[in-house]
Amino acid sequence: MSTNPQLDEILDGLRKIQGIHGTALVEKYGLVSGQALPAWIDAESLGAMVNLIVKASARATRELAQGEFKSAMIDNEKGRLIFTALGSKILIIVATPNVAMGILQVKLQTAAQAIYQLGIT
């Protein structure tokens, strides 16, 4: 949870999508601004991992002359990790392998706009 109830509501709304284990808004340096995560995911560890993954992704994007980092997805045996840049922060979603990506993309765009409107990016 965060100190912003509106952010908590947005993140919790994403978590309610079928196939989503949890979600968090992470500053690019690893500090978690808000989260709706299950007890088995440590928010501080997740923040540190997001920092490393996004730094590497952003560097690769720049060095390959592909512009600015926008998003990334890691598919693995037990699910998906979805990273989306929102200004100076990263929205991370921890999902099952069978999450409906079409529905998630629509909900993610709505959530991103709502987070931008809060002015915390």
- The strand pairing partners of 20, in sequence order, are 95
Predicted confidence at residue 2, as pLDDT, reads 60
Predicted confidence at residue 75, as pLDDT, reads 94
Predicted confidence at residue 121, as pLDDT, reads 72
Predicted confidence at residue 28, as pLDDT, reads 74
CA distance 18 to 98: 9
Predicted confidence at residue 74, as pLDDT, reads 94
Q: What is the mean pLDDT of each run of 10 residues along the chain (121 residues)?
A: 83 94 91 94 94 92 92 93 93 94 91 90 72
Which numeric CATH code is attached to 5-118?
Answer: 3.30.450.30
Domain extents for the chain?
5-118
Measured in degrees and rounded to the nearest 5, phi and psi for residue 118 equal -75, -15
Predicted confidence at residue 120, as pLDDT, reads 82
